[in-house]
Structure 1
Amino acid sequence: MKIETVYFGEIEIEESKLLAFNHGLPGFQDEKQFALLDLEGNPAFKILQSTKAIELAFVITNPFLIETGYEFKLDEQTVEQLNINKSEDVSVWSIVTLKEPFEQSTLNLKAPIVLNLNNKQGKQISLNDSNYHTKHSIKGGEHHASPNTETR
């Protein structure tokens, strides 16, 4: 099928590679189908592109590349919703907020995107762990704090 994308114009993608977000993403509940696209020349990042809304695309990355101590336990509801049977089927991503210069970019460790690669189901979850933030530095090990936020 052909889809329009923010970064690549019109592209052809196999329907078997599309990801289903049955509950949409927070703030985008009507967006239920996305394509995970490679960012040519930069394997650390991918584009999560809506198949319906051309302007809706997120730059994402593997959070473990930046924050090696990142860890959380999936709740039973998410495991059931995504029909996860084994941990090898799970892939975790974080949304990146790009800034200029790039070193000021941040990633959202508070609300990772969890994918079941086996059945192509996905969900963005919200973690209760106060050690993780929505504006974690892309340089790792720190987050950008507002004046009322305590840094670690």
Structure 2
Amino acid sequence: MKIATKFLGEVEISEQDILTFEQGLLGLENEKKFVILPIDADLPLAILQSVEHTEIGFVVAYPFVFKKDYSFDISEDDREQLQIEKEENVLTYSIVTMKETFQESTINLLAPIIVNMDKKCGKQIVLQDNKSYPLRYPMQTLEGSAK
């Protein structure tokens, strides 16, 4: 099926690619169906695009590329909601706020998006632990090998 996207124009997706966010995203609780679209194989970035609304799309990134020691625990409730059986089926993304230059852009480490690729479901969680990750972590501090 074809969908119109915020950043990539019209793209072809498969029904199997659609992820369900039962609780939506923070501030978009009624938005339940998304797809993750790669931007460039050499970049740790992708687009989290609403399947139903063209204007709802976010640049997301793998947070571990930008902060190597980023870690958190997923609560038992969240594990159940996401039907997590194997850790290797789970991907973590963070929403990126793109600025005029990449060096000025930030990544949200406070509210990661957890996706169970096997069960095709996701959830945005707000971290409650004492590490107090910031809402706007500078991406200029690239710690990985991304280009």
Please give the TM-score of this superposition, normalised by the length of structure 1.
0.88
Provide the aligned C-alpha RMSD in A: 1.3
Question: Could you say which residue in structure 2 is the equivalent of 1:27?
Answer: 27
Q: Which has the higher contact order (CA 8 A, sep 6+)?
A: 2
Tell me whether 1:3 sits opposite 2:20 in the alignment. Answer: no
Residue 18 of structure 1 and its aligned partner are, at CA, apart by 0.9
Query: Structure 2 CA distance, aligned partners of 1:140 and 1:131?
Result: 18
Bigger radius of gyration among the two = 1
Matches within 5 A, 1:102-141: 102-129=102-129, 130-140=131-141
Residue 67 of structure 1 and its aligned partner are, at CA, apart by 0.1
Please give the TM-score of this superposition, normalised by the length of structure 2.
0.91
Question: Could you say which residue in structure 2 is the equivalent of 1:63?
Answer: 63
Query: Structure 1 CA distance, aligned partners of 2:83 and 2:133?
Result: 26
Q: Structure 1 runs of 4+ off > 4 angstroms?
A: none
Query: Structure 1 CA distance, aligned partners of 2:82 and 2:41?
Result: 31
Q: Which one-letter code corresponds to 1:63 in the other structure?
A: P
Question: Could you say which residue in structure 1 is the equivalent of 2:145?
Answer: none
Residue 101 of structure 1 and its aligned partner are, at CA, apart by 2.0
Residue 42 of structure 1 and its aligned partner are, at CA, apart by 4.2
Query: Structure 1 CA distance, aligned partners of 2:121 and 2:141?
Result: 28
Task: State whether residues 102 and 140 of structure 2, in contact with CA within 8 Å, keep that contact through their aligned partners in structure 1.
Answer: no
User: Could you list the runs of 5+ residues in structure 1 that have no partner in the other structure?
Assistant: 142-152
Residue 122 of structure 1 and its aligned partner are, at CA, apart by 0.2
How many residues of Structure 1 are paired with residues of Structure 2 in the alignment?
A: 141
Residue 41 of structure 1 and its aligned partner are, at CA, apart by 5.4
